[in-house]
Structure 1
Amino acid sequence: MTEELSGNDLVARTLRDQGIEAVFTVVGGPVIEAVAACGAAGVRPIGARHEQAAAMMATSFGYVGNSVGTALLASGPAVTNALTAVHVAWDNSLPLVVLGGSSSQRQRGRMPFQEADQVTLMRPITKWSIQVDSAERIPEIIGMAYRKAMAGRPGPVYVDLPADVLSARVEKERVRPAPAGPPPQPPQGDPAAIERAAELLLRAERPLALVGKGVRWSESHEELRELLEVLGVPFLPSPMGRGFIPDDHPLCVSAARGHAMRNADVVIVIGARLNWIFGGGQAFAPEAKIIQIDIEPEEIGLWRDAEVGIVADIGSALGQLLSAIEGRAEGMAALRQESAWRHELREQVAKNEAAVEPLLNSDATPLNHHRLMREIRDLMPRDAIVTVDGQITFATARQIVPSFTPASRLNSGSNGCMGVGVPFAVGAALARPGTPVISINGDSAFGFNGMEVETAVRLGLPIVFVVDNNQGIMGSVLERQMFPGEHPDAVAMYTPGARYDKLMEAFGGHGEHVERPEEIRPALERAFAAGRAALVDVAVDPAAIWPIPTAGRSGSRLMGY
């Protein structure tokens, strides 16, 4: 007798055959049986509290694990709840496959339960958005989805699974298999462009490298480090490009970011985008020569004209550059170590670090953000994964909290979305078991997905969550700016004295509350030693906003507009 398989079985088997270890979900129709089938097939279902968080967990699980994250969601509102997470993945070029249930094809147009054109909703923020039209095509289309998510510039893909397709049964012989051939070889850079880039780097008097998270997918951090060390090129990492070369490497000039960008004469951009994070490329000197390496052709010269554009896989291009400079760079690192450019950068680093020193060591109460970040920096293990969420929290942590290992720094990247910190931490902890994970969140940012601390407790993940609690969106600064006089309702500020540690304790995790500087380190030590999910709620001065300048800026300008 011919074996028959349901669409639900085919979803689970296809995910297993694609090497998918976990799917993130909020269980609901019509995917309940598909989630159950995943569990039976050895694909671990992870239940979240909200679909946005589930898709964010999947995204970070894939990024930290160098794979494609997968979310398996119910229909209608479940899919629309995930739109924000998909937008974050789209903006940050992070691979993600979202499998969304939908109403039966046979009932379309009759207003069946939760009917929505989910394919169209997802299309503008995905690389591919498609509905499976028959059960026999489930393996074929899901397999294509994973290929598309990782091909070229990575990104999210949406696959719509109607209820009748999932419940249909099909003879095994009729099933169209997933693409099975090996992926193509990573593209190489044009040899002439590689040689021109090598010449510019060898002749530069004030070279600088910008390092982005694009180096993650080719696992090329060793080649990256070798190239910069051989040439003696200082570097600036993007917010999620940190850790591929340790932040304490002598070539890292993050503390002199502005000076380095304004004064470099040759800038090589490696796996980063010259978007708003780097001032659209306009922060560089007008005469600076730009070398761009990117796998996406349209990225070359998009924000700033490139002297040399190399369309290639990052790892391939770095290998080609190393070959191109072989025998031509002897002694260059030592020479540049003593150059005027490096002395200038070291002086600027020392000056900028000295400027924040009083804040780092302040014993004032209420606490400032910098003292909190210093205590985290001094205690966190070197191999820790750090997620950061919130505007002031993000800006301060960028100055103070380092990263030392590849794919260990997660934040909203170029998207600026609030609410990523908690779910990113959960996904990261699942992707790299046994690695310490610390999630630093502003209280506003924490509120978006804070219920996912229950998920961390339930899954036994010993994540340390820190809430930088300044009682509102940018503390009291934005509220005062919007309403300088009396106003009956708090709009950008929250309930004074709110205790987020109590939320963690209610779920069975470890909670700590801190109000004084000397209490921070002991509280963090107890949190790391707790052996279960922990949350340290730190009361911070609502008026403390530096390093974000406020003078003469509107509220929207403070938010980056």
Structure 2
Amino acid sequence: MDLLTTVGCASAVLLVAAAVALLGVAHHLGLLYQLFHKVEPKSPRHGGELVADVLKAHGVRFVFALAGGHISPILVAAEKVGIRVVDTRHEATAVFAADAVSRLSGRIGVAAVTAGPGVTNAVTAVKNAQMAESPLLLIGGAAASLQKGRGALQDIEQLSLFRTLCKACISVRTVRQIVPALRRAIATAQSGTPGPVFVELPIDVLYPFHVVEKEVGGPKSARGLRGKLVQWYLQNYVRNLFAGAWESRDITPLPVKVPLATEDEVGFVPPALGFWGRFGWVQRCAELVSRATKPLVLVGSQALLPPTPAEELRDALEALGIPCYLGGAARGLLPPESPLLLRHNRRDALRDADLVLLAGSVCDFRLSYGRLFGRGAVIVAVNRDRAQLLRNADVFWRPRLAVQGDAASFVVGLARRLRGFSCPTEWMQRLREAEQRKERANR
């Protein structure tokens, strides 16, 4: 009896294991999904239409591209919905142009390149967007997923090229994944510290069912068990590609998460202690500035990122009344005649300042890796990116306050806290005189 019970239990376990394995295979092949989601073999629609719809919903006005067969449905559909397709003569140019649109408009810049060499040609421009912290979407064509590694046209491993350059690398495997993948990619590009994202769209998710079935689906008839199994597998692969493809999906933008440097922003002081907590960081900085006799502000490119308008940041700097050096994209934020704007003698000014606010500026080669600050100077650093925030802080300098957050919103909050603050006249006059001497010497 015990033996029969044992055998029965073992059989039950084996049956359950087999059932679980079969369910796993069915899930992997998309059989379960196809049971509940419609496949429309006669539909003329294609994945390029979904791409265009998502881009349109996100306010995209331009797609920069060098046309290729792998991405043609995207370009055709984009023009139909009113998105201007700008054809370039090199893929790097397409990405550079998308980067420029992003910087000038504050919206996501979009470039589309064909598979293989089209993708590799874009690498330098994508790195440029990463360094500039530009929100950019690069759409890359690719060989059909089933044909990857089998000698398909222009088939190379593309995701690995961009993993160190992009905030996210996504490969879409079915038509139904296009919309959620693009929404997630665009939100990722714009959230936190902005940057490029790469979305790989294989050719078989972009063309209509009848085209993909002809190219990938295999022969209509097959001989032998092996041939019939291969035929079934290929036909099921195509059906799974399009299962639920045209169901209604939300294409509106996902929330963009920007770390605004408000009173409740998380920060740490000093970084060597590794101490994190919620403090009034703007208030703490205001206290430090109010005690300073020789304050200085360095504004970097990151301070010009959305959502704070440049005009609001400019007004905040003028309200603070602290001398400023502007770098990168921040150049031009203050008018040339502004008494706060400094262009010369930065090394001497940093050496003499007793408080320096790094608003999006980074202690890299431009600040001699942090070696320019005077001994005992109070350094307040604000940056969305923690690595940039503490660049070389363990070597040549150490911030009194280090706030991981948006530099522009921090400056705006600081100006509100310091209403009535007046920068010491002697310090202002000293810097202006040094500026004028340098101007005369340069004539």
Q: Is the 8 A contact 2:48 2:73 kept in 1?
A: yes
- 2:123 is the alignment partner of 1:35: no
Aligned-pair CA distance for 1:168: 4.6
Aligned-pair CA distance for 1:73: 0.8
Aligned mates of 1:32, 1:230 — CA distance in 2: 52
| Candidates 350, 353, 356, aligned match of 2:439 | 353
Q: Is the 8 A contact 1:223 1:318 kept in 2?
A: no
Q: Specify the code of the residue in structure 1 equivalent to 2:282.
A: I
Seq. identity, %: 31
Aligned-pair CA distance for 1:201: 1.2
| Candidates 182, 187, 191, aligned match of 1:147 | 187
Partner of 1:271: 360
Residue 182 and residue 127 in structure 1: after superposition, are their counterparts in 2 closer, same or farther (change >3 A)?
A: closer
- In terms of mean alpha carbon deviation, does 313-322 or 130-139 score higher? 313-322
| Candidates 286, 290, 297, aligned match of 2:375 | 286
Partner of 1:224: 313
Partner of 1:192: 280
Deviations 1:18-71 (A, max 9, x none): 111100001112112211111111111011111111100100111101111100
Aligned-pair CA distance for 1:137: 0.9
Q: Is the 8 A contact 1:189 1:311 kept in 2?
A: no
Q: Is the 8 A contact 1:75 1:102 kept in 2?
A: yes
Q: Is the 8 A contact 1:25 1:46 kept in 2?
A: yes
- 2:306 is the alignment partner of 1:213: no
- In terms of mean alpha carbon deviation, does 56-65 or 109-118 score higher? 109-118
Partner of 2:28: none
Partner of 2:402: 309
In the superposition, the TM-score normalised over structure 1's length comes to 0.59
Aligned mates of 2:312, 2:144 — CA distance in 1: 50
Partner of 2:159: 119
**Secondary structure of the equivalent of 1:110?**
coil
Aligned-pair CA distance for 1:211: 0.6
Aligned mates of 2:135, 2:256 — CA distance in 1: 16
- 2:101 is the alignment partner of 1:61: yes
Aligned mates of 1:181, 1:150 — CA distance in 2: 10
Q: Is the 8 A contact 2:114 2:142 kept in 1?
A: yes
**Secondary structure of the equivalent of 1:302?**
coil
Q: Is the 8 A contact 2:188 2:256 kept in 1?
A: no
In the superposition, the TM-score normalised over structure 2's length comes to 0.74
Q: Is the 8 A contact 1:140 1:179 kept in 2?
A: no
Aligned mates of 1:247, 1:162 — CA distance in 2: 51
Q: Specify the code of the residue in structure 1 equivalent to 2:344.
A: A
| Candidates 289, 296, 303, aligned match of 1:201 | 289
The higher radius of gyration belongs to 2
Aligned mates of 1:175, 1:78 — CA distance in 2: 32
How many residue pairs match? The answer is 350
Residue 66 and residue 30 in structure 1: after superposition, are their counterparts in 2 closer, same or farther (change >3 A)?
A: same
Partner of 1:133: 173
Matches within 5 A, 1:14-413: 14-169=54-209, 170=242, 171=244, 173-174=246-247, 176-178=249-251, 180-184=253-257, 186-187=259-260, 188-190=262-264, 191-216=279-304, 217-304=306-393, 305-326=398-419, 328-329=420-421, 332-333=422-423, 336=424, 338-339=425-426, 341-357=427-443
Q: Is the 8 A contact 2:187 2:253 kept in 1?
A: no
Aligned mates of 1:254, 1:103 — CA distance in 2: 52
Aligned-pair CA distance for 1:153: 0.4
Give 5+ residue unaligned stretches, structure 2.
1-37, 210-241, 265-278
Give 5+ residue unaligned stretches, structure 1.
358-561
Aligned mates of 2:433, 2:302 — CA distance in 1: 30
Deviations 1:486-512 (A, max 9, x none): xxxxxxxxxxxxxxxxxxxxxxxxxxx
Aligned-pair CA distance for 1:269: 1.0
Partner of 2:8: none
Aligned mates of 2:54, 2:315 — CA distance in 1: 39
**Secondary structure of the equivalent of 1:137?**
helix
Aligned-pair CA distance for 1:100: 0.6
**Secondary structure of the equivalent of 2:345?**
helix
Q: Specify the code of the residue in structure 2 equivalent to 1:350.
A: Q
Q: Specify the code of the residue in structure 2 equivalent to 1:318.
A: V
Aligned-pair CA distance for 1:176: 4.8
Residue 239 and residue 319 in structure 1: after superposition, are their counterparts in 2 closer, same or farther (change >3 A)?
A: closer
Q: Is the 8 A contact 1:300 1:309 kept in 2?
A: yes
Aligned-pair CA distance for 1:239: 2.3
Aligned mates of 2:320, 2:415 — CA distance in 1: 10
Partner of 1:447: none
Aligned mates of 2:320, 2:54 — CA distance in 1: 46
Aligned mates of 1:226, 1:115 — CA distance in 2: 52
**Secondary structure of the equivalent of 2:428?**
helix
Aligned-pair CA distance for 1:10: 1.1
Q: Specify the code of the residue in structure 2 equivalent to 1:323.
A: R
Residue 26 and residue 192 in structure 1: after superposition, are their counterparts in 2 closer, same or farther (change >3 A)?
A: same
